[in-house]
Amino acid sequence: MSQEAIDRSPRAFANRNGISLTTVYNQMRSGQLKAKKLGKRTLITAEAEKEWLENLPDAVVDSDGRFGFRGVCGR
């Protein structure tokens, strides 16, 4: 799929990443996700999406096979 064919709206970003639209807006408000404005439209560039994904904490699996995050909850 070409870069131009990808929907760059916050709703499409949420759908692509399996998160809520509220989480997307919270991430933008906190500065963890960068967005652009074009008139009334809010757009999330491919570069911003990639940067956001790269800056998420690494998931780790404990000895019981449960997922967690490095540095959180004693892991």
Note the pLDDT of residue 47: 97
Which residues, at least 6 apart from 54, have a Cβ–Cβ distance to it below 8 Å? none
At 34 the pLDDT is 97
CA distances from 59 to 23, 24, 46, 74 (A): 19, 20, 23, 13
- Per residue, the 3-state secondary structure of 12-75, as one string, reads HHHHHHCCCHHHHHHHHHHCCCCCEEECCEEECCHHHHHHHHHCCCCEEECCCCCEEECCCCCC
pTM of the predicted model as reported, rounded to 2 decimal places: 0.76
Residue-level pLDDT at 75: 41
Q: What is the pLDDT tens value at each position of the chain, 75 positions in all?
A: 455 568 999 999 999 999 999 999 999 999 999 999 999 999 999 999 999 999 998 888 888 878 777 655 454
